[in-house]
Amino acid sequence: MAEIIDGKAVAADVTAKVKVAADALLEKANVQTGLAVVIVGEDPASKVYVANKGRTAKACGFHSVEHTLPEDTSEQELVDLVECLNDDPSIHGILVQLPLPKHIDDGRIIQTISPEKDVDGFHFINVGKLGTGETDTAFVPCTPAGSMLLIERVLGKDLSGKTAVVVGRSNIVGKPMFNLLLAANATVTVAHSRTQNLEALCKTADILIAAVGRPQMIKGDWVKPGAVLIDVGINRIDAPEKGEGKTRLVGDADFESCQTVAGAITPVPGGVGPMTIAMLMANAVTSAYRSAGEEAPSF
């Protein structure tokens, strides 16, 4: 039976270290880490995410600012707000909650954020740094960064000799995950919807990343015995056993069958999910240290 990788516990450890780092910077350089979160519209899921981020930021001792804009905010108005936050020395991290309303170009907004304050790691400068192995100076997208930390807890930082398969090629998870694994010396393959013999490919992986957005797609007989399985998926499916109209969260891997084969596995919920906000906080305090000319701690 696989070891269950407790993302909640690791995330709590990261946020505790972030708070210590934030307090130390405030005492040493009189700099309070500032995080600004911008949300446009009334998307319920986005509002929950933003509230969670705000709560965690305050718990870490940050100066936490939230800008809630109406659905009909123009693209130029949002650009103007982001540029204002870029120029604000009290703000070290800017996060624009996605998705944005359809009339606003997500790409333009992301590229407007200063690369030094791009704590989501989506600006082309940070993407390029990660793609060329500059992991020490890049801001890495939070979900892949958190996934790597969970892998390190099981296998250590150097993945030399390990074979990794990433199922999913998104800009948010799949591609940055590929670059992080490569930087850690793993031999990496990215699989996707056009990949042939996907099951056989997955079975070669010492490290298997499920990030495809299809509930319970990865089955136990796809998993190499003893592999580390990181399930990035968050899917809501019907749960009639809980009652009429009820649902439950599942990952991209079928947890029940996979945990009998894998050596270690992340659950859903409680695996990668908590790591995302924790790494956002780590990126924000890192930005504050850099702005103060201090060496940022590692997490």
**For the segment 76-122, what is each residue's pLDDT rounded down to a tens digit?**
999 999 999 999 999 999 999 999 999 999 999 999 999 999 999 99
Q: What is the pLDDT of residues 122-172, one digit of tens each?
A: 999 999 999 999 988 999 999 999 999 999 999 999 999 999 999 999 999
Does the annotation count 97 as an active-site position?
Answer: yes
> Which of 19, 117, 120, 206 is flagged as catalytic?
120
Q: What is the pLDDT of residues 26-59, one digit of tens each?
A: 999 999 999 999 999 988 888 888 899 999 999 9
> Which of 17, 97, 129, 216 is flagged as catalytic?
97
Q: Which of 53, 39, 109 is nearest to 281 (CA)?
A: 53
- With a CB cutoff of 8 Å and minimum separation 6, the contacts of 132 are none
Peptide bond just before 240 cis, omega within 30 deg: no
Residue 113: C-alpha distances to residues 95, 96, 109, 134, 162 (Å): 9, 9, 7, 20, 36
- Pairwise CA distance, residues 114 & 98, whole Å: 17
Q: Which of 288, 296, 255, 256 is nearest to 272 (CA)?
A: 255
Q: What is the pLDDT of residues 214-271, one digit of tens each?
A: 999 999 999 999 999 999 999 999 888 888 888 999 999 999 999 999 999 999 999 9
> Which of 53, 117, 175, 224 is flagged as catalytic?
53
Q: Which amino acid is at 20?
A: V
Q: Is 170 annotated for ligand binding?
A: yes
Query: Residue range 280-293: average pLDDT?
Result: 98
Q: Is 168 annotated for ligand binding?
A: yes
Domains of the chain with bracketed CATH: 28-119 (3.40.50.10860), 138-273 (3.40.50.720)
pLDDT at 242: 83
Does the annotation count 259 as an active-site position?
Answer: no
pLDDT at 43: 85
- Pairwise CA distance, residues 14 & 90, whole Å: 23
pLDDT at 158: 95
Does the annotation count 175 as an active-site position?
Answer: no
